[in-house]
Structure 1
Amino acid sequence: MLEGLHYQNAYVCDELEAGIDLFRGRGLEKDPVIIPVDQTVVTPGGPKRQKGRICFIWIGDLQYELIENEIDEVGLYANCLSNGGPLRFHHICFRVPDWADFRSRVDAQEFPVAMERGLSAEAEGGLKFLYLDAREVFGHYIEYTWMPEPMWQHIRAM
């Protein structure tokens, strides 16, 4: 399952500021906003907590997401093994135009859902995402997102 607009490559790093520094002089034009994240996601094993800090760096039409993990009850980021450098490639992300249509086909495709957010009533009209575990085929996870257009424009402006 590969569909939608590929707009992001994501990396796990031990120190977010050190990761950001690696982009200075390589296309980073302004300091990114660091966003604290503390959320509960749905997994095959039930609800799990994810806590950390992230930032988004846009270079052209590609967004680089840097993730500093603090609490990873899912184990999704902790299993991203060191490559000897400060950034470890983790996943790519696609934006899909119709979440209900996309989600209706997820269970019929080959990759298992690793985690998901956006199933509850309070998430209606807000950001929805899920990660598929595509490591056996592609060597990484694939994230899919849906968000309202104003939220997308806000993220593009960051």
Structure 2
Amino acid sequence: MLEGLHYQNAYVCDDLEAGIDLFRGRGLKKEPIIISVDQEVMTPAGPKRQKSRICFIWIGDLQYELIESEIDEVGLYANCLSNGGPLRFHHVCFRIEDWADFRSRVDGQEFPIAMERGGTQDGDLKFLYLDARKVFGHYLEYTWMPNRTWQQIKSM
């Protein structure tokens, strides 16, 4: 299942500020904002807590997401093996236009859901991660958001 607009590559790092430093002088034009995210997500084993510090760096039309995990009850970020460097590639992200249509097809495809957060209202961000490591070596994240949220993300 590969569809939607690929707009993001994401990396796990142990030190978010050190990760950001690696982008200075390599295309980073605007100082990124660090965001704390503390949320409950659904997993095949039930609800779990994910708490992270993240930032988004745009270079051209590609967003780099850096993730410093603080609480990882899902184990989604802890299983990202070291490559010997400060940044460990974790997933690619696609923006989906029609979430209901996309979501209706997820259970019929080959990759298991690792975690999911459906918005509480139609205007909320929705996302899910598919575990595609056996085929691609990484997770696939899919997001849906209203256009106003997309514009906010693009301006970060």
- Give the TM-score normalised by structure 1: 0.97
Residue in structure 1 matched with residue 149 of structure 2 by the alignment: 151
What is the number of equivalent residue pairs in this alignment?
156
> Would the aligned equivalents of 1:118 and 1:124 in 2 still touch at CA under 8 Å?
no
After superposition, what is the alpha-carbon deviation per residue over 1:71-120, rounded to whole angstroms, capped at 9, x for unaligned? 0000000000111100000000000000000000000000000000015x
State the shift of 1:45 in Å. 0.1
Q: How does 1:21-100 map to 2 (within 5 A)?
A: 21-100=21-100
Give me the whole-angstrom Cα distance separating, in 1, the residues matched to 2:146 and 2:114. 23
Residue in structure 1 matched with residue 122 of structure 2 by the alignment: 124
Are 2:121 and 1:106 aligned?
no
Structure 1 moving runs of 4+ over 3 Å: none
Secondary structure of 2:23's counterpart equals coil
Secondary structure of 1:76's counterpart equals coil
Question: Using a 3 Å threshold, how does the CA distance of structure 1 residues 39 and 123 change in structure 2: closer, same or farther?
Answer: farther
Secondary structure of 1:22's counterpart equals helix
After superposition, what is the alpha-carbon deviation per residue over 1:29-85, rounded to whole angstroms, capped at 9, x for unaligned? 011000000000000000000001000000000000000000000000000011110
Q: Where in structure 2 are there 5+ consecutive unaligned residues?
A: none
User: Which amino acid is 2:14 matched to?
Assistant: D
Q: State, as a whole percentage, how many aligned pairs show the same letter.
A: 82
Q: Where in structure 1 are there 5+ consecutive unaligned residues?
A: none
Give me the whole-angstrom Cα distance separating, in 2, the residues matched to 1:107 and 1:32. 36
Q: What is the root-mean-square deviation in Å for CA atoms of aligned residues?
A: 0.7
